[in-house]
Amino acid sequence: MQNNKIGTAARPPLSLPFYYGWFVLSIVFLTTLTSAGVRSSPSVLIHPLEAEFGWSRALIASAVSMNLLLFGVAAPISGWLIDKYGPRKVMIGSLALLIFGVSGTMAMDQFWQFFLVWGVVVGLGAGGVGSVLTATVGNRWFVARRGLALGILGSASSTGQIIFLPLFMAAITYAGWRMGSMALIIVAIILVPLIYFFMRDDPSEVGLEPYGAGDPAGASSGGVASLRGMRSGNATITAREVISHPTFWLLAASFFVCGGTANGLIGTHLIPHEIDRGIPQITAASLLGVMGALNMVGTIFSGWMIDRVQPQRWLALVYALRGLSLLMLPFVHSISGFFLFAVIYGLDWFATVPPSMAITADTFGKQNVGKVYGWIFMSHQIGAAIMASSAGALRTWLGDYHSAFFSGGVIALVAAGLALQIKTKTKAVPPVTVHAQPAGASNINAG
């Protein structure tokens, strides 16, 4: 089952002792990791920019908010491009945008330049290699172990923060924020030839089936939630079919909350909040790295779980845990307290991603994941942008983040309730028989 060969006309560019899709997954993981590290870097820049230019917290947060918003706006665009032209070309183009944007940091000395570079260019570039890419690749290349693959790819964002944020903070401390930005550029440049020579868009391009496509028993046990009367699998669906189903709106609404409480609130404001509490800068960034490390465990475990349980129930549990941790945060004052929060919140930071991706693919078809999940992810980033900006404004007006954290906790609990409303209709769907297709054919519909 590991080779899943369907033809000999096309072969992988490398001879590997394991399924080539795992190597594709590693390339996408590294690309998403780098993109996440670059996109999240402005949270480390808040204090240095305040000190050097005298810009207010709310003003800087507005640029971060634009970054998050355009990161989301780029999602449906990149989803359409991925479905039409393939992940490989989109990955290269997005990295080129990131390299161009971060390079502009070296000459930046006015706020409009910071807003343009980090708010617009980096936001759009990162949107091309975000969750839409990982959702598409995970669902195209894997039937068996799909949840695990989505969990691994979903953990790439937190891994990027583990690696980049503490190093970036150290570089800022010892060499300044301009020189620290150079490291981000170098890593992105290295990835471009790796993607060009070894990335492939679909298993059929290298003479393979999706992993486990020949073994219906190996598919995720969460089941297929294809809509009655809606096309499924590889067939193209219309916008009317998507927006007419409540699953789309429930996912979009809950993901709006996810973005607001994760990227918008914690991802942007946790480090400044810790520094406000007297935590040293490098320690604050390291605590975020600890949270990212736990998130790797939580996200991979989340993917593993959705191979075994209904994804909407798992999604609700993750949101509930997040809400409770945010309600605790205003009462934390010490390093040990922040460490405990990092552990609790870290376990569910991106754990919402694998079940949301799986529900999208099972409901709307794997070949439609890019375009559909792109719109769902845009709602995630709209929530992130609103929360990043409003939390910065609340900090400026009230002098602390307490009301922002309390609000985040409440809406996360609301999202848990929304997730429980998602219906999968698993029992109504007959078993799927998987047939091999000739090389170059469409992806196997493994449901």
DSSP string, 249-306: HHHHHHHHHHHIIIIIIIHHHHHHHHHHTT--HHHHHHHHHHHHHHHHHHHHHHHHHH
Q: Half-sphere exposure of 313 toward its Cβ, with a 13 Å CA cutoff? A: 8
Structure tokens, 98? 């990131």
Structure tokens, 390? 């409003």
**CA–CA distance, 282 with 428 (Å, rounded to integer):** 53
Structure tokens, 436? 């091999």
Sign of the dihedral through C-alpha 352, 354, 356, 357: positive
List phi, psi (to 5°) of 214.
-85, 5
Confidence (pLDDT) at 253? 95
Sign of the dihedral through C-alpha 105, 106, 111, 117: negative
Q: Half-sphere exposure of 249 toward its Cβ, with a 13 Å CA cutoff? A: 7
**Coil, helix or strand at residue 34:** helix
**CA–CA distance, 256 with 386 (Å, rounded to integer):** 10
Nearest to 315 by CA among 240, 373, 251: 251
Domain boundaries, the chain: 20-200+220-425
Structure tokens, 380? 């995630």
Kindly report the pTM of this predicted structure.
0.68
Would residue 436 be called left, alpha or beta, if left means φ above 0 and alpha means ψ between -120 and 50 degrees? beta
Nearest to 46 by CA among 97, 106, 98, 111: 111
Confidence (pLDDT) at 414? 96
Confidence (pLDDT) at 4? 57
Confidence (pLDDT) at 427? 37
Degrees, nearest 5: CA angle 347-352-358: 130
**CA–CA distance, 71 with 252 (Å, rounded to integer):** 16
One digit per residue, the tens of pLDDT, for the chain of length 447 reads 445 555 445 677 778 888 998 999 999 998 988 888 787 777 777 778 787 788 887 788 788 778 877 877 888 888 888 888 889 999 999 999 988 888 887 777 788 888 898 888 888 888 888 778 888 888 888 888 888 888 888 777 767 766 777 777 777 777 666 766 776 778 788 899 999 999 988 888 888 888 887 665 554 444 434 444 444 445 567 778 888 889 999 999 999 999 999 878 988 888 888 888 888 877 887 787 788 778 778 888 888 888 888 889 999 999 999 999 999 999 988 888 888 898 888 888 888 888 998 898 888 877 777 778 888 888 887 898 889 888 988 888 888 889 999 999 999 999 999 999 998 654 333 333 333 344 443 333 333
Structure tokens, 161? 């923060």
**Coil, helix or strand at residue 332:** coil
Nearest to 61 by CA among 440, 416, 447, 389: 389
User: Percent helix, strand, coil in the chain (nearest 5)?
Assistant: 75, 0, 25
**Coil, helix or strand at residue 110:** coil
- For the segment(s) 20-200+220-425, the CATH number from 3.40.50.300, 1.10.10.10, 3.30.365.10, 1.20.1250.20 is 1.20.1250.20
Nearest to 333 by CA among 274, 421, 287: 274
**CA–CA distance, 341 with 65 (Å, rounded to integer):** 24
Confidence (pLDDT) at 430? 38
